[in-house]
Amino acid sequence: MVSLLCLVALLFPLSATSSAGFDVQPFRVDLGHEVAHMKALVQNTRLPDKPLYPEASIEFGMELDVLRDLQTKWLNDYDWAKQEATLNELPQFTVTIEGQSVHFVHAKSEEPDAIPMLLLHGWSGSFQEFLPVVKPLTQSWTSPNGTRISFDVIVPSLPGFIFSSPPPQNWTNADTARIFNKLMVNVLGYSTYSLHGTDWGSSVGYILYSTFNTTVRAAHFNLLPFIAPDPQSLNITLTDIEKVTVQRSLDFRATGLAYNMEQAFKPNTIGLALYDNPIGQLSWIGSNILLCKVRPPALGPRPRCSPTRPSLTMVSLYTLTHTFQSSVWIYEQNPNGFSADYVKPATDAPMGYSLFEYELQFTPRDYVEKVAGKLVSYKEHDFGGHFAGLDNPPALVEDLRELGLYFGS
């Protein structure tokens, strides 16, 4: 055991973590022993021979043909070992903070002045959704005015998700923010850092941004934890990209929130129903995130997100770690996680916002300005949505690098 740890330390000298009083352990994804069980469940799940109502499209939830194709792909054309090897290219660790075991990626740049960047995922994502952006962010980039930017990238798993232990029942995103700040400052030794958040990660990230105003010195979001005004009530001229996002927001508010209510009010019902049910998880998660490529209602035929959605790895991580139930509790634990009221945060740290066309919510620039300490950029991209790290990694990398120019200012 000792020699294995020494070997790991030799292989990843740049990832050695300073840890006054914290027991940081190297971590590798090792779920091979769960795969036979998952595959048997996938194989033995019976689906109907034909759709009940052939005219009922994705607007009525998961489509049979899509689910069956994914079931076939999961069985015949999906190699977990290969996915696991890819995940293990990222240096990973665990550490116990306030009794919670926290799993995190810590990929360091080779540049001595790299900016620490905390990437925060949500539901139904995981640390895996940032896989395509981690390496590029660690690499050096030179801005048009000659400033060199690179990042040390830290991607923690939210408590209760995948490899982080489930928190106590009364845990909230403010608790997660506090322990993640300890991870950055006390465990890893960064006195200041930047962050990016999406979904629940934007709630955690915004708490960090507005509360830890001396340590969080730049923040980027592609969703904010506020319920912006009804887009139809706004008297503004919309760009073509914004028109799509507005329609998407209206559809989501009208018919897309059922999963959210179930998870907020009856987390154990859906949590146990799908606990050991990969095809069930795929239908539940996939129906939420497939909309962008399968006949988006009223938005025309062009796909708005990655053709590989939903990623079977995204779902496999929940299935293989048996954390679907503990992940959905975040909705119950944070009933006001997305608020209609905004407050100007007590920070002067720069904020960047990127609107990816197929996002769940349209937040106009004027509104983002109100909830930012200092808004330094508002950008729009015509491809991608809620999972920007998977959908449109080059755009996310570009926007985070540009934010890096303002770090510490």
Ligand X SMILES: *[C@@H]1O[C@H](CO)[C@@H](O)[C@H](O)[C@H]1NC(C)=O
Which parts of this chain interact with ligand X (CB under 6 A)? 143, 145-147, 168, 170, 213, 235, 346-348, 405-406, 409
**CA separation for the pair 108, 341 (Å, rounded):** 38
Give the catalytic positions in this structure.
Answer: 199, 331, 386
* CB of 44 or CB of 170, closer to ligand X: 170
**Nearest position to ligand X, beta carbon:** 168
Query: CB 213 → ligand X: shortest distance, Å?
Result: 4
**CA separation for the pair 381, 49 (Å, rounded):** 40
* CB of 172 or CB of 316, closer to ligand X: 172
Query: CB 341 → ligand X: shortest distance, Å?
Result: 18
* CB of 131 or CB of 400, closer to ligand X: 400
Cα–Cα nearest to 217, from 113, 327, 347: 347
Query: CB 347 → ligand X: shortest distance, Å?
Result: 5
Say if CB 373 and CB 280 are below 8 A apart. Answer: no
* CB of 44 or CB of 145, closer to ligand X: 145
Cα–Cα nearest to 161, from 216, 117, 208, 101: 101
Say if CB 256 and CB 288 are below 8 A apart. Answer: yes
Say if CB 153 and CB 134 are below 8 A apart. Answer: yes
Query: CB 402 → ligand X: shortest distance, Å?
Result: 8
Cα–Cα nearest to 210, from 174, 159, 167, 175: 174
Side chain identity at residue 91, one-letter code: P
**CA separation for the pair 317, 324 (Å, rounded):** 9
Query: CB 403 → ligand X: shortest distance, Å?
Result: 10
* CB of 170 or CB of 232, closer to ligand X: 170
Burial degree of 357 (CB within 10 A; 0-12, 13-18, 19+): buried
Cα–Cα nearest to 295, from 85, 100, 59: 59
DSSP-derived secondary structure letter, 300: -
